[in-house]
Amino acid sequence: MSVASIYAPVQSELAQVEAALQEVARSDIPQVRKMLEHVLSASGKRLRPTIALLSGRFAEHKPEALVPLAASIELLHTATLVHDDVIDESDTRRGRDTTNSKHHNAAAVMLGDYMFAHAADLICRTERIEVVKLFSKTLMAMASGELTQDMSAYEYGQDTMQYFNRIAGKTASLFATSAEGGALVANSPAEWTAALLDYGENVGMAFQIVDDILDFEGDAEEMGKPTGSDLMEGTITLPALLLMERSPDDNPVKRFFGDGDNKDEHLAQAISMIQNSDILQESYRVAQDFSSRAVAALEILPATPDRTALSDIAEHVLARRS
């Protein structure tokens, strides 16, 4: 598998998605245009729009609807990142200055809202009411996941099921919408649509778990944030949960979340204990299980290069380093 092979079947449509995003950036207001160019030029892997485009190729292929869907999904994703940076008071993301650090929080919030509005406009261009409803449902799921994370910060008594429910809304829901939305636009049979929804949910879960693992073992410069930054901000992820399960009564996470002194020492100890155990390997096994479920869900679909690319994405999310 190569990264290029993942994008190969939809390369021309991805170029159209990029053109649609650049069109959004052409604001008449110079300051807004500058901010949009900054956030939209941080070209990520575009996995979500790629999933949408690939998922729309198994039945009635309709690029005129798939491209707006894919662009809308990427805009929605980018807008949530802009808002996340405000909430987390982040100065950098992936090594680049955040909008809130370059300007101010109010401008960043309004920029995110501006992109949400454009995403809604793009999704309406699919002219499919069920896709518009799906978009609305997904936005609520993502907001609920983010609210749950924010409201549960520094709460020690969380469990694995709460973690899975949170990331299902915060992250996996948009992957699921990418796959299901593509299937709906293509008028896919119900069983294919259900399979692609299942695929997207499981890929999204694997993606977030790997992201949480990289918070402890990834290169800080490559990740654009300090090692253990999630725990530093009070967010309990799978590696920290596993550490808490192994030492339920007294451990550095509990001491870090407490009101005592030496918080930096407790945080450093928690990171060290996670890094110097098999916790990260166990977390990877959980991510691998979700990835395997995603690949298995595709078996009902025709064996085409598009299905192979979707399967490769499920494998790719396990291997990524940023």
- Using an 8 Å Cβ cutoff, are 158 and 32 in contact? no
Q: What confidence score (pLDDT) does residue 318 get?
A: 95
Q: What confidence score (pLDDT) does residue 125 get?
A: 95
Q: What confidence score (pLDDT) does residue 43 get?
A: 60
- What is d(CA 202, CA 226) in angstroms, rounded to the nearest whole number? 27
Distance of CA 259 to the CA centre of its chain: 32
Domain extent listing, the chain: 3-319
Torsion of CA 274, 279, 281, 283, to 10 degrees: -110
Measured CA to CA in angstroms, residue 299 lies from 8, 47, 154, 195, 304 at distances of: 21, 20, 41, 9, 11
Q: What confidence score (pLDDT) does residue 221 get?
A: 65
322 residues of the chain, pLDDT tens digit each:
667 889 999 999 999 999 999 998 888 788 888 888 888 876 678 999 999 999 999 999 999 999 999 999 999 999 888 887 777 666 666 657 667 766 678 888 888 898 999 999 999 999 999 999 999 999 999 999 888 888 888 888 889 999 999 999 999 999 999 999 999 999 999 999 999 999 999 999 999 999 999 999 977 666 667 899 999 989 999 999 999 999 887 789 989 988 777 889 999 999 999 999 999 999 999 999 999 999 999 999 999 999 999 999 999 999 987 7
Secondary-structure class of domain 3-319 per CATH: mainly alpha
Q: What confidence score (pLDDT) does residue 188 get?
A: 98
Tokens of 105: 């929080």
Q: What confidence score (pLDDT) does residue 280 get?
A: 97
Residue 96's H or E segment, with its range, is strand 96-97
- Using an 8 Å Cβ cutoff, are 266 and 239 in contact? no
